Structure 1
Amino acid sequence: MRILLLCSSFNGLTQRAWLELRRAGHDVTVELALSEQVMLEAAQLAKPDLVICPFLKEKVPTRLWQTQRTVIIHPGPPGDRGPSSLDWAILDGEPTWGVTALQAVEEMDAGPIWGYRTFPMPAEPPRKSALYNGPVADAAVELVAEVAAKAADPSFTPAPLDYRRPEVVGRLRPAMRHADREFSWEEPTDAVLRRVRAADGAPGGRALLAGTSVRVFDVYRGPALSGRPGTVAGRREGALLVHTGDGSVWVGHLRRDEPGAVKLPAVTVLGEQAALAEERTGYSEITYDRSDSVGVVSFDFYNGAMSGEQCRRLASALRYAVAQDTRVLVVRGGEVFSNGIHLNVIDSARHPQMEAWVNINAINQVCREIVSCTGQLVVTSIGGNAGAGGVMMGLGADRVLVRQSVVLNPHYRTMGLFGSELWTYTLPRRVGADAAHRLTQDALPVGAAEAAALGLADEVLPGSRLEFERAVLDYAERLAHDAGYGRLLAARRAQREEDERRKPLEAYRVEELAEMSRDMFDDRHGFAAARAAFVGKRKPEVTPAHLAAHRELSGASAGAGVARSHM
Structure 2
Amino acid sequence: MKILLLVSAFNGLTQRAWCALRAAGHDVTVELAPVHSTPDSLVAVVHAVSPELILCPFLKHRVPAEIWRKWPTVIVHPGPVGDRGPSSLDYAIQEQEGLWGVTALSAVEEMDAGPVWASRTFPMPEPPTSKAALYNGPVADAAMSCMEEVVAKAADPGFQPVSQEDMPRPVTHARTRPSMRRADREFDWSQPAEQIVRRIHAADSAPGVRTEIEGRTVYVYDAAVAEGRPRRFYPGTVIGRGQDAIAVATGDKTVWIGHVKEPRDAGGAGVKLPATTVFDEPVPDMPVPAPLQETTYRRVGDVGHLDFRVYNGAMSTAQCERIAAALETALAQDTRVLVLSGSPQNFSNGIHLNVIEAAPDPAMEAWRNINAINRLCTALVSCTGQLTIAAFTGGAGAGGVMLGLAADIVVARRGVVLNPYYDMGLYGSELHTYTLPRRVGHATATRLLTEKLPVDAEAAAGIGLVDAVGPRDWDRFRDWLADLAASYAEPEWHAEALAAKSRVLQGTRPPAYYAAAELAEMAKDFFDDRSGFAAARRAFVGKTAPTETPTRLARHRWSLVGDSA
Q: Taking structure 1 as the reference length, what is the TM-score of the superposition?
A: 0.95
Match of residue 363 from structure 1: 373
Asked if 1:112 corresponds to 2:121, the answer is no
Asked if 1:225 corresponds to 2:229, the answer is yes
Judging changes above 3 Å, is the alpha-carbon distance between structure 1 residues 377 and 165 closer, same or farther for their aligned structure 2 residues?
Answer: closer
Match of residue 189 from structure 2: 185
Asked if 1:50 corresponds to 2:53, the answer is yes
**1:123-179 deviation per Cα after TM superposition (whole angstroms, max 9, x unaligned):** 221100000000101111111121111101001110011077444732101110010
**1:87-145 deviation per Cα after TM superposition (whole angstroms, max 9, x unaligned):** 00000111010000000000110001000010000122110000000010111111112
Asked if 1:375 corresponds to 2:378, the answer is no
Match of residue 562 from structure 1: none
Residue among 404, 412, 425 paired with 1:416: 425
Residue among 489, 499, 506 paired with 2:498: 489
SS in 2 for 1:235: strand
**1:492-536 deviation per Cα after TM superposition (whole angstroms, max 9, x unaligned):** 12211222xxx2221111111111111111112111111111111
1: CA distance between counterparts of 2:4 and 2:412? 28
In the TM superposition, 1:455-534 aligns within 5 A as 455-481=464-490, 483-499=492-508, 503-534=509-540
Q: Is the 8 A contact 1:82 1:173 kept in 2?
A: yes
SS in 2 for 1:540: coil
Asked if 1:87 corresponds to 2:90, the answer is yes
Match of residue 276 from structure 2: 267
Runs of 4 or more consecutive aligned structure 1 residues displaced over 4 Å after TM superposition? 554-557
1: CA distance between counterparts of 2:479 and 2:535? 41
1: CA distance between counterparts of 2:346 and 2:408? 21
In the TM superposition, 1:187-226 aligns within 5 A as 187-226=191-230
Asked if 1:553 corresponds to 2:559, the answer is yes
Q: Is the 8 A contact 1:79 1:163 kept in 2?
A: no
Matched letter for residue 137 of structure 2: G
Q: Is the 8 A contact 1:103 1:113 kept in 2?
A: yes
Matched letter for residue 151 of structure 1: A
CA shift, 1:68, in A, is 1.3
In the TM superposition, 1:250-265 aligns within 5 A as 250-259=256-265, 261-265=270-274
CA shift, 1:44, in A, is 1.5
In the TM superposition, 1:418-457 aligns within 5 A as 418-457=427-466
SS in 2 for 1:89: helix
1: CA distance between counterparts of 2:420 and 2:533? 17
Match of residue 150 from structure 1: 153
SS in 1 for 2:447: helix
Matched letter for residue 549 of structure 2: T
Matched letter for residue 308 of structure 1: T
Matched letter for residue 306 of structure 1: M
CA shift, 1:484, in A, is 2.5
Match of residue 277 from structure 1: 283
2: CA distance between counterparts of 1:75 and 1:190? 24
Q: State the identity as a percent.
A: 54
Match of residue 252 from structure 2: 246
Match of residue 3 from structure 2: 3
2: CA distance between counterparts of 1:163 and 1:261? 46
In the TM superposition, 1:120-131 aligns within 5 A as 120-131=123-134
Residue among 62, 76, 79 paired with 2:79: 76
Asked if 1:97 corresponds to 2:100, the answer is yes
Structure 1: unaligned runs, 5 residues or longer: 558-567
CA shift, 1:219, in A, is 0.5
Q: Is the 8 A contact 2:68 2:108 kept in 1?
A: yes
- Greater mean alpha carbon deviation, residues 160-169 or residues 358-367: 160-169
Asked if 1:338 corresponds to 2:348, the answer is yes
2: CA distance between counterparts of 1:62 and 1:463? 38
Matched letter for residue 431 of structure 1: V
Q: Is the 8 A contact 1:239 1:251 kept in 2?
A: yes
SS in 1 for 2:428: coil
SS in 1 for 2:80: coil
2: CA distance between counterparts of 1:548 and 1:47? 13
Match of residue 563 from structure 1: none
Q: Is the 8 A contact 1:422 1:512 kept in 2?
A: yes
1: CA distance between counterparts of 2:42 and 2:163? 25
2: CA distance between counterparts of 1:465 and 1:217? 24
SS in 2 for 1:67: coil
Matched letter for residue 434 of structure 2: Y
Match of residue 138 from structure 1: 141
Structure 2: unaligned runs, 5 residues or longer: none
Asked if 1:30 corresponds to 2:27, the answer is no
2: CA distance between counterparts of 1:332 and 1:38? 45
1: CA distance between counterparts of 2:42 and 2:171? 30
2: CA distance between counterparts of 1:24 and 1:293? 41
Instruction: Provide the aligned C-alpha RMSD in A.
Output: 1.5
Equivalent pairs counted in the alignment come to 550
- Greater mean alpha carbon deviation, residues 163-172 or residues 35-44: 163-172
**1:207-249 deviation per Cα after TM superposition (whole angstroms, max 9, x unaligned):** 1101011111000111222432111110011100111111011
SS in 2 for 1:337: strand
Q: Is the 8 A contact 2:81 2:169 kept in 1?
A: no
Q: Taking structure 2 as the reference length, what is the TM-score of the superposition?
A: 0.95
- Greater mean alpha carbon deviation, residues 97-106 or residues 33-42: 33-42
- Greater mean alpha carbon deviation, residues 10-19 or residues 205-214: 205-214
**1:416-455 deviation per Cα after TM superposition (whole angstroms, max 9, x unaligned):** 1110000000000000000000001100000000000111
SS in 1 for 2:348: coil
CA shift, 1:382, in A, is 1.1
